[in-house]
Amino acid sequence: MKSHERIEVADELGECVLWDDIAGAVWWTDIEGRRLHRLDWATRTLTHYRTPARLTAFGFVEGSREFIAAFDRGFALYDPVSGTVGTLVCPEGLDEGQRMNDGRVDRQGRFWAGGMMEADDSRSEACLYRLVGGQVAVQMRAIGIANGLCWSPDGTVCYFTDSRQGTIWRFAFDPGTGTLSDRTEFARSAAGACPDGATVDSEGSVWSAQWGGGCVIRYTPDGQIDRILDVPVSQPTCVAFGGPDRDHLLVTSARCGHAAGETGAGDLFVYNVGVRGLKESRFIIGTWPQATESEG
């Protein structure tokens, strides 16, 4: 299948692509380039915002134009238009040599995001966090690179990727309490590829970008490979469904590392895949702290 469209942005590390159904726009971040992009779907107008720090992940906020943001050192409310950043909440366990990484809002309005080890070694000391209002709680430890958070259509299954382990994990998820349990291996990437960002479609299948593999894999709910979508760059990073009918797969990519010099590396690719995605949930702010809780 050929790409329906390529949006040229040449990101160092494009990530966290989301469809804003209210504004009819696609948003995504270039973590290392410290840029946030907004693509108006109807006009194809592309707007760029400079970020005050490395923006690793974000989610839309209920009733606000602010984002809930995971910056490299912690969580904050962030208005990309004005550039305003609220109080930074620095989570426990985000130690030297780590930064925040991928995240997503669950169907009940909680924001989840995990950390990663920045050094190119085998340590796995990062954490997965759950953010309710301004309160952060550690949900998992001993993570190498947190990625691929997404939920089944009914919200009772959570998928989570540790890219360093090359594994997508499946958890039973309690929507009421936000509790993870019964971890099982869902899928493991082939040698030379790492599972990166992921999303779930309306049929309950998981789409996973394969860093180093030059493709996006669609897994059925039982973990079987259903479809392999080849992309023209080696480092696809994250996926989401967008467009008015949420039937276009949006794929970010990176031009850092081994992809330097590849044509199209760092661009956004848009595919009409004939499957619809799910509506993105929005973060419920609750009570946000007025002063920094800790210096992490």
The model's pLDDT over 110-159, given as tens digits with 9 standing for 90+, comes to: 999 999 999 776 779 999 999 998 899 999 999 999 999 999 999 999 99
Residue 12 lies in a domain: yes
Residue 277 lies in a domain: no
The 10s digit of each residue's pLDDT in 178-202 is 999 999 999 999 999 999 999 999 9
Backbone angles phi, psi at 12, to 5 degrees: -65, -45
pLDDT (mean) for 166-171: 97
Residue 282 lies in a domain: no
> Edge-to-edge, what's the strand order for the sheet holding 25-30?
14-20, 25-30, 35-40, 46-50
The 10s digit of each residue's pLDDT in 254-272 is 999 888 889 999 999 999 9
Six token digits for residue 131: 């953010």
Q: For residue 259, what is the domain's CATH number?
A: 2.120.10.30
Q: What is the mean pLDDT of the chain?
A: 94
Instruction: Check residue 257 and give its pLDDT.
Output: 86
Residue of 162, 196, 201, 267 marked active site: 196
Q: Which DSSP string do the residues of 211-261 spell out, in sequence order?
A: ETTTEEEEE-TTS-EEEEEE-SSS-EEEEEEETTTT-EEEEEEB-SGGGTT
Instruction: Check residue 121 and give its pLDDT.
Output: 67
Instruction: Check residue 119 and give its pLDDT.
Output: 78
Instruction: Check residue 26 and give its pLDDT.
Output: 98
Residue 285 lies in a domain: no
Instruction: Check residue 290 and give its pLDDT.
Output: 66
Compute the CA torsion angle 167, 151, 68, 95 (nearest 10 deg).
-30
Backbone angles phi, psi at 215, to 5 degrees: -160, 170
CA atoms within 13 A on the CB side of 171: 19
State the pLDDT confidence band at 293, using cuts at 50, 70 and 90.
very low
Asked if 161 and 148 count as a contact pair (C-beta separation under 8 A), the reply is yes
- Predicted TM-score of the model (pTM): 0.94
Number of domains in the chain: 1
Residue 293 lies in a domain: no
Residue 288 lies in a domain: no
Instruction: Check residue 286 and give its pLDDT.
Output: 82
- Catalytic (active site) residue 196: yes
Domain that holds residue 253: 5-272
Residue 84 lies in a domain: yes
Residue 286 lies in a domain: no
